[in-house]
Amino acid sequence: CTLPIERNHNLVERQPYLTHLLNRANMRKSKFTKSQKLEVLAKWDAGAKIDDLCREYQISAATLYNWKKEKATEEDDTLRELKQLQQENARLKKMYANLSMDHEILQEGYEMLKKWQAQDAKKK
């Protein structure tokens, strides 16, 4: 993987990017799919003991806690995104209402102008 090199940027400025690349390179691909992880977590939430789950799925307790933390983070991100979308939706609805009123006013004005022009044409 090559890093984008830009002039006038020192290594300190790129350090977070380099750390991210190193972390990704060191990460192992999980042998569990997301749905499998959720299934294990659901069993844990239903009351299964950690030791039993770890033995059954051949994982460590730390792995199980990491999965739970990842799930909570994803849920937080999803809720944050939902809130942002709801705010944007409310803003767009308000904008639509304002534009609809503007359109209606302009339409009425146009109709009045057409009537006046027709009356002026009859007078001539």
Q: Which residue, among 44, 36, 39, has the nearest Cα to 65 in the 3D structure?
A: 44
Beta strands in 37-94 (DSSP E): none
Q: Write out the two tokens for 27.
A: 């990460």
- Tell me the pLDDT tens digit for each residue of 64-103: 999 999 999 999 999 999 999 999 999 999 999 999 999 9
pTM over 0.95: no
Sequence-ordered alpha helix ranges (H) in 46-60: 50-57
pLDDT in tens, 21-56: 666 666 666 789 999 999 999 999 999 999 999 999
Phi and psi, residue 32, nearest 5°: -115, 135
